[in-house]
Amino acid sequence: SSYFRSLVAGADTKIPIANGKYVTAINFDNAATTPPLCSVLKEIACFAPWYASVHRGKGYKSILTSERYDHGREVVKQFVKADKHDVVVFTKNTTESINMLAYALATDDKQQVVLSTDMEHLANDLPWRDKFTIDYVAITSSGRLSLENLALKLQTYEGRVKLVTVTGASNVTGYINPIHTIARLAHKYGAKIFVDGAQWVPHTPVDMKPYDSPEHIDYLTFSAHKMYAPFGAGVLIGAKETFEQAIPVYQGGGAVGLVSQQTIEWDSPPAKYEAGTPNMMGVLALITAIETLSRLNIGDIHNYERKLIDYAIGGLSTIPGITLYSTRDRDEERVSLVSFSLEGMHHSQVAEILSQEAGIAVRNGLFCAHPYVEKLLNLSEKEISHYQTQNDKTIPGLVRISFGIYNNLREIEGFLDLLSHVAKHRQYYARKYSYVLAPDRCG
């Protein structure tokens, strides 16, 4: 664990907390954004003198930059075992990728169905709503995706389902979905499958499988900033034909062949989907992060993070007043995050206490997965409408901890000790932090 920790920049940064004390920051909010790998920072610094425009110019540095950038597509494909005919489009992040795909797949036929699920991040829900008939696969009482309900919905829509769009791993419960079983089902009914890999790809080996496999993943996206590579890159992977057929949402230089004022000759994908000067440094950061994670072995990373989350879940479940929004079953497939609430205390107070008392950064609120958290909390439409219309700042939500490769058991122990103390002295802490009233609405 100390080797993993040594690879990440700023893992031992000192930060101020209450009473003017300084402590080593503990970051348990890796599901939002991870700190950079040292290898990423080094590569960016080393490459900077060679940096030039991508796909624009015959200059030596421009050619070198373009080669590096395009080679990045192969690195991405290998990392997730994409089919050799897939194209990799570099984007800004997962949200942009999903919006681009939704535009690429949309037609005038609004009767076509996209099956999303009750456990999606809003990025994998909102872009589909206005372009398709959308329906949501239900979750079970423990918050797992219901495969029975998926099969039922696929049958009910009788061939109208164009796409099943589902997260690889939930950013609220950490559950990993049985993606290949879902793919098999979707394909059986003539639908394609898109996987939101934002919380999945950085934490577990991913295999998109070849086109001739019934378990093939048709489309996949993920974000570099959640896998130790800042600077704003993401990817969208899928079959070339999808991108060949549709008109891209972003249009401009770099996406076209010859243009007149009457006609456009579109370039072939992925260039067609990358109008404007590409984010070379973002892509370089992503490629370097992938190379480092591959060298460490993503399977080993998964096993290490699994130990962390099992330990945290075990500890949380012994603290009186804590409700866990996840099963404790060690056989369940999951990534290294979990959400909880503490009875009698608002989620934003818990987050503030952890930050102010011990420099522990967690996330609280609805985590941009509003319908999922609303269902986990059994909120009625009437209650939701109350919070929407009354501007009531006590909006419900959860507290989430999420680990990266550099976190360790000692940090979790400190977190559990503090939380046990808070649970035991709830009134004292609730009074001390009574000023905390303004949770993050998106979370």
Contact call for residue 292 and ligand PMP (CB under 6 A): no
Q: Is the CB of 65 or the CB of 94 nearer to ligand PMP?
A: 94
Q: How far is the CB of 333 from ligand PMP (least distance, A)?
A: 15
φ and ψ at residue 395, rounded to 5 degrees:
-45, 135
Nearer to ligand PMP, 39 or 93 (CB): 93
Q: Is residue 113 a contact point for ligand PMP (CB under 6 A)?
A: no
Region from 92-100, 148-156, 237-245, 291-299 binding ligand PMP, contact rule CB under 6 A = 92-100
Contacts of 410 by beta carbon, 8 Å cutoff, 6+ apart: none
**C-alpha closest to that of 409 among 294, 277, 310:** 310
Among 137, 182, 198, 217, binds ligand PMP (CB under 6 A): 198
CB of 347 to ligand PMP, least distance (A): 17
- Note whether 199 binds ligand PMP by CB under 6 A: yes
* Shortest distance, position 52 Cβ to ligand PMP, whole Å: 27
What would the two tokens of residue 313 be? 């879940």
Q: Which of 121, 153, 209, 363 binds ligand PMP (CB under 6 A)?
A: 121
> Is residue 370 near ligand PMP by the rule CB under 6 A?
no
The strand pairing partners of 187, in sequence order, are: none
Q: Is 283 among the residues that bind ligand PMP (CB under 6 A)?
A: no
Contact 25, 8 (CB under 8 A): no
Q: Is 408 in the site for ligand PMP (CB under 6 A)?
A: no
Binding of residue 118 to ligand PMP (CB under 6 A)? no
Residue 227 makes CB contacts below 8 A (sequence gap 6+) with 34, 201, 202, 286, 289, 290, 293
427 Ramachandran zone, left/alpha/beta (phi>0; psi -120 to 50): alpha
Does 93 bind ligand PMP (CB under 6 A)? Our answer is yes
Stretch of 7-15, 192-200, 290-298, 383-391 contacting ligand PMP, by CB under 6 A: 192-200
Q: Does 368 help bind ligand PMP (rule: CB under 6 A)?
A: yes
In sequence order, the 6+-apart residues with CB closer than 8 A to the CB of 145 are: 117, 118, 119, 137, 139, 166, 175, 177, 182
Contacts of 432 (CB under 8 A, 6+ apart): none
95 is a contact residue toward ligand PMP (CB under 6 A): yes
Q: Could you tell me the smallest distance in angstroms from the CB atom of residue 117 to ligand PMP?
A: 11
Question: Whose Cβ is closer to ligand PMP: residue 345's or residue 368's?
Answer: 368
* 366: contact with ligand PMP by CB under 6 A: no
Report the residue from 196, 274, 305, 357 that binds ligand PMP according to the rule CB under 6 A.
Answer: 196
- Cα–Cα–Cα angle for 346, 306, 358, rounded to 5 degrees: 40
Give yes or no for residue 94 binding ligand PMP (CB under 6 A): yes
Nearest Cα residue to 171 out of 223, 114, 100: 223
Nearer to ligand PMP (CB atom), residue 119 or residue 353: 119
Total of chain residues touching ligand PMP, rule CB under 6 A: 14
The footprint of ligand PMP (CB under 6 A) covers 31, 93-95, 121, 123-124, 167, 171, 196, 198-199, 223, 368
